[in-house]
Structure 1
Amino acid sequence: MRLIFLGPPGAGKGTQAKRLTDKYGIPQLSTGDMLRAAVTAGTEIGKRAKAVMDAGGLVSDDIVNQIVSERIQEADCAKGFILDGYPRTVPQAKALAENMRQKDLVLDAVIELKVDEEALVRRIENRVAETIAAGGTVRSDDNPDSFRKRLSEYREKTAPLSQYYEGQGELVVLDGMAHVDAVTVAIEAVLEKDANAAASAARI
């Protein structure tokens, strides 16, 4: 099972990925985690990434793509994986497709969690108000203005992925505003449908 989760910050991708990880025993892979692991392991590509980061630069697509390519070959990915936060752009998506083609791997589904952005902002506002009322400390990035900026960046850079994967016939859009359990059920239905289709194709 090889999946990609799409959706803006706060859409619930992490929650759903965790549930699938627990159920199917496949890893959830995020760009940040993969970068840190490569740097810690001291791989050749990890050394290149560290040099860029130490210099205060942004890690290039080429480096990120190679780190992902190496990561999905590791033993814990043998049964599949969930990509969360990668690819972020259409060029990265095309590079991933080529990497998987070379490894004879097939992407099972690209699941996008559609959400009401204003409703997400209101959730942040309520959370901040509740934290303050409880005498807690609000994180610097946990405020409506910062969140709106992250949503804007998502729309500009990552949202075009929806059109790309829709054009590839791989996109499934689900209601991310539904109850968390209902979203899980909807995802399971997509996976079951894909599994049945794969089994039918294998019999032909």
Structure 2
Amino acid sequence: MRAVLSGNMGSGVGMQRVLLSERLRIPSIALGGAVRAAVDADTEPGRRFRAVADRGEPVDDTLLVDILAAHLVRDDTRDGFLLDDVPASVDRAWLLDQRLDHAGIPLDTVVALDVPLEILIRRYADSPDAGARRARIEAHARCMRPVLDYYRNRARDGRLRYRVVSGLGSTEQVYARILDALR
């Protein structure tokens, strides 16, 4: 399985990723981890990333996607992988699809955990940084909506499975719903 598990801050998506990665025996991979690995291994894309970051410039989508795609074709992902959330823009999602399709390992599943924003915001209402958390939750939702729409449209074309799973309930209940959606 080559999948993405998406969810907003406070949705429990991190715990679900750990459980799924262990159950499916596939690595959970985040863009940040792929970038660190490329920089640490002193790969050509890693050197390009370091140069851009050292200059304090924004990193080009193509470079980020190239780093992630190179990470996803390694031996440890031969049996699949679980991406740590969807790419941050439709452009990145499209680029990643192009790279993975070209490598013969297209994404086959996207699972989106659905937790209403009001509930996510309420979970942090008493925290000292409640305002900042609210802003991040709302920004993530705005950013992810078009990307999830992109994957929903790909599913209509039959190119992947797209599932929305309620993220409400206990960790075990949500995990069971995700497993059901993957069957």
- Answer whether TM exceeds 0.5 for this pair: yes
Query: What does residue range 11-160 of structure 1 map to in structure 2 within 5 Å?
Result: 11-126=11-126, 128=127, 143-160=129-146
For the 8 Å contact 1:45–1:63, the answer to whether it is kept is: yes
Identify the match of residue 151 of structure 2 among 165, 169, 179.
165
What is the CA distance between 1:104 and its match in structure 2?
Answer: 1.5
Q: Which has the larger radius of gyration?
A: 1
What is the CA distance between 1:80 and its match in structure 2?
Answer: 0.5
What is the CA distance between 1:182 and its match in structure 2?
Answer: 1.1
Deviations 1:85-107 (A, max 9, x none): 34111111111211121121232
Distance 2:131 2:98 in 1: 38
Q: Which amino acid aligns with 2:80?
A: G
Distance 1:123 1:47 in 2: 40
What is the CA distance between 1:3 and its match in structure 2?
Answer: 0.7
What TM-score do the two structures reach when normalised by structure 2? 0.90
What is the CA distance between 1:78 and its match in structure 2?
Answer: 0.6
For the 8 Å contact 1:2–1:106, the answer to whether it is kept is: yes
Distance 1:59 1:10 in 2: 27
The residue number in structure 2 matching 1:183 is: 174
Matched residues, percent identical? Answer: 31
For the 8 Å contact 2:111–2:163, the answer to whether it is kept is: yes
Distance 2:117 2:181 in 1: 24
Deviations 1:107-154 (A, max 9, x none): 22100011122222221134x3xxxxxxxxx6xxxx211111112321
Aligned residue pairs, count: 178
SS at the partner of 1:11? coil
What is the CA distance between 1:40 and its match in structure 2?
Answer: 1.0
SS at the partner of 2:110? strand
Greater shift after overlay, 74-83 or 91-100? 91-100
Distance 2:25 2:12 in 1: 19
Gap runs ≥5 in structure 2:
156-160
The residue number in structure 2 matching 1:198 is: none
What is the CA distance between 1:45 and its match in structure 2?
Answer: 0.2
Distance 1:35 1:159 in 2: 25
Change (3 A) 1:184 1:84: same
The residue number in structure 2 matching 1:133 is: none
Distance 1:153 1:58 in 2: 19
